[in-house]
Amino acid sequence: MCGILGQINKTDKIDADLFSQMLHTIHHRGPDGNGIYLDKHNQLAFGHNRLAFLDLSDAGKQPLISNNEQIVVTFNGEIYNYLELKKQLLDSYTFITNTDTEVIIAAYLKWGIDFVKELKGMFAIAIYDKKINKVFLIRDRFGIKPLYYFFNESCLIFASELKAILSSGLVKKEIDYSSFSDYFVYRYIPSPKTIWKNIYKIPPANLLTFDVDTFSHSLFEYWKLNSKNEQEKSDLLIDEINEILQLSVSEHTRADVPIGSFLSGGYDSSAIVHYMKRSGINPETFSIGFKNWEKSEHQFAEIVATHLNVPNKYVIADESSLDLVNIMPIVYDEPIADISIVPTYMVSKLAKQNVKAVLSGEGADEIFGGYTWQHQYCDETYYKNWLWKIKSIFKKRETVNYYAHAMSMGWFDKDELENMLTPALHQYIPSDVHWFYRKHYNNKLTPLKSIQYMDMKCFMGELVLTKIDRASMANSLEVRVPFLDHKLFEKVFLLDEKQYFNQHQTKFLLYENIKKFLPQSILNRKKQGFVGPDNYYMNIEYYKKELANSNLVKHNIINQSYLDHLLKQDYNWKLWKILIMEKWFSHWVD
């Protein structure tokens, strides 16, 4: 795992010292080494901070240049099928390293930019092809790895994190107040927008082509998830899913250093540890708990660790842990209001003290149907009695509206935003505040798959994976997510949903493959998201203290009367969103 940076100037020379300083701002993403490539005109620079896993020698340093000196690559991520690809490329390229980075170069030289379709992995890749004088910026299918860019008439800058772009001094720090409004609706800033004007995210599964000669760029989506309603024999399907998962975990543990695993005691992380054991790996596992909470995950993780005979370490969060909210603006660059940002940071810090990389269970709920809102939606769509179904004919439920309520964690619509924001900012409130959900809602899919698709594109792709990447990389820890194998998603989405979604058994296809290997107490455990006890987040006195003398109020952004109204209530989830924005604004603007 690494941090990447690039700059292309149209006419001016690149300041090499400044570029080096920009690269240093994301040193935490790759403390094992760094490198800079500067072209002969001093107008194109690629930078790289390395967190080494394959070929730990200096031969694995980046940016990496092809044997014929035509291609330059800086790359953040892991290509899990690099060994298989390398075998296909031996006849066309002479390899001098044992890295997956060189496989990217060889694959591009043989197959052109379509090589990306051959990759299995998580990646943010920048390729400079001197022959055609073009730069390609590529983000993986799910958005596991981040990639930002700034563009104007004289300069293109791209980087793994916003702070590297901002440190150039070439970007005016202007808040995009439509993004500001989006944050309160979604808990994050949806792609391609960022919190800043003129800086953008490359969306998941997208490829940006930049023509250095014409100084122009275009964006292309190179992968889409297709859906069918195929039927297979249940026992054969269960075995096939088992093989896909076993292969994915085996590929995700390819490294020249030990790989551990997060462990919560739920299906997903427990399954990963089970498959690691079957691959001959006895991983160190890491968990987080909450003080004085009967549902604390570390208790269940201990049960699984004992059963599978793996070591487990855990850290306990308490009221004082919320002090870490003060460093979240540095970790995340732009505001993200997932309630587990602090616990994720804490367990990442624990893991880093012992290993350089861990596996994690993100993606299983999305593809196997594990979320409570998925089950509730299906219950109301398929399983209600005949009287309810007759009523639903006359009062048809709107899927995007249902999904928006399920995701909100503190409901903000246009009216609520107008109540909170001062009048001068009302012009920036989107006319359709749920535009991003609507963008990824596909009414041609079955009801369940339409929810799953929004989960993949919106909840997971924008919130969950951002949280995981920044919290882990702030601690120089790599997190690998074997459930996010695009072959698995393609396989399941082609099935009739009744083949993998069971009203009475959550994540049916996964359950069938782990039920013989985990304790019954874990198999019977009710679904629990990565959260803490409500009182951990609902201390109204804490919010009164933290939001006193609010900078958002001082800068005439939100109304003091609105804030006062929320602080008079026992608790309202809107306060968490305001707190996170307050901390971000105070650090980056005020």
Angle 18-24-26 from CA coordinates, rounded to 5°: 125
Rg (CA), the chain: 24
Q: Distances from the Cα of 462 to the Cαs of 143, 202, 459, 543, in angstroms?
A: 8, 11, 6, 26
Pairing label, strands 44-50, 148-151:
unpaired
CA distance 440 to 448: 14
CA distance 388 to 377: 14
The residue type at 486: H
Q: Helix (H, G, I), strand (E, B), or coil: what is residue 285?
A: strand
CB-CB contact of 352 with 476 (8 Å): yes
Those residues whose C-beta lies under 8 Å from the C-beta of residue 389, and which sit 6 or more positions away, are none
CA distance 417 to 236: 51
Return the closest-CA partner of residue 216 out of 41, 463, 10, 45: 10
CB-CB contact of 374 with 278 (8 Å): no
Return the closest-CA partner of residue 22 out of 163, 212, 194: 163
Q: What are the phi and psi torsion angles at 287 (to 5°)?
A: -140, 165
Dihedral sign (CA 557, 147, 436, 447): negative
Which two structure tokens, joined as six digits, stand for 143? 């958005």
Contacts for 452-456 with beta carbons within 8 Å, 24 or more apart?
452/366, 452/367, 452/369, 452/374, 452/493, 453/225, 454/403, 455/365, 455/366, 455/371, 455/374, 456/142, 456/225, 456/366, 456/367, 456/489
Return the closest-CA partner of residue 75 out of 110, 37, 44: 37
Q: Helix (H, G, I), strand (E, B), or coil: what is residue 201?
A: strand
Return the closest-CA partner of residue 251 out of 372, 21, 81: 81
Q: Is 378 designated active site?
A: no
Burial 139-162 (b: 16+ CB within 10 A, else e): bbbbbbbbbbbbbeeebbbbbbbb
Element (H, E) at 455: none
Return the closest-CA partner of residue 147 out of 219, 70, 53: 219
- In the block, residue with structure tokens 């074997």: 482
| Helix residue spans in 414-519 (DSSP H) | 414-420, 435-439, 447-454, 465-473, 486-493, 508-514
Set 2, 155, 378, 458: catalytic member: 2
User: Which residues are annotated as catalytic?
Assistant: 2
